[in-house]
Chains A and B, each alone.
Chain A
Amino acid sequence: AQKITQTQPGMFVQEKEAVTLDCTYDTSDPSYGLFWYKQPSSGEMIFLIYQGSYDQQNATEGRYSLNFQKARKSANLVISASQLGDSAMYFCATSSNTGNQFYFGTGTSLTVIP
């Protein structure tokens, strides 16, 4: 099984500033995917960004970018220009390319301060 570690249980960021949420993973699979999801207080999981392990470039989706360091097994999420609506739980997850079974971290709670 794969293991995901999110070491920051809670983070605070000033509105309009950037914030980095950490994620490290442990896998022996040669090929895998990395995902970030946002979970607002309502409970639904919202997909943010995907990075394939063989992708050379870091993924970006609007204000979200993924700082992928394969040798360190690190896949940190960077949110630029934080907005009040970004306040939520954020989960990192991995999957193996042999099967779409996701493994989730314990999440980071982000609070954006006006």
Chain B
Amino acid sequence: DGGITQSPKYLFRKEGQNVTLSCEQNLNHDAMYWYRQDPGQGLRLIYYSQIVNDFQKGDIAEGYSVSREKKESFPLTVTSAQKNPTAFYLCASSIGWEGVYEQFFGPGTRLTVL
């Protein structure tokens, strides 16, 4: 079955630690995205990647970093510079970058900073 996997489902981190969230897709999609969702809010774009070895900042990229070394993988690192990292993180992918394609989402990772 094709789809997007995110791991882990729940993640706890101590303040000051970096943590990496995994996102893998086997849909052969070119574009991938990371979103953050806070309670009672919509999704906000952190980073996106149109193709391998290329990525761009979204609206709230400060304190986050990404890499896109393989087409199927787009890991997100939440660094200690992110002031308020506790949130629900969603990874998505789409066939292409043009704005007519639906985005397919993974199940999400809930990050809690202790």
Contact = CB atoms under 8 A, between A and B. Distances in A.
A47 B103 contact: yes
A96 B48 CA distance: 15
Given A47-B103, A91-B43, A107-B42, A100 B98 contact: yes
Contacts of B102: 35, 47, 50
A32 B42 contact: no
A35 B104 CA distance: 12
Contacts of A43: 88, 90, 107-108, 110
Interface in B71-99: 88, 90, 92, 94, 96-99
A4 B42 contact: yes
Interface residues of B, number: 29
Interface in A22-78: 31-33, 35, 37, 42-47, 50, 52
Interface residues of A, number: 29
Contact of B104 (A47, A50, A96, A104): A47
Contacts, number: 71
A37 to B, nearest CB: 8
A106 interface: yes
B99 A97 contact: yes
Nearest to A105: B42
Say what secondary structure dominates the interface of chain B.
loop
Interface of B: 31, 33, 40-45, 48, 58-59, 88, 90, 92, 94, 96-108, 110
Nearest to A102: B103
B90 A45 contact: yes
Contacts of A44: 105-108
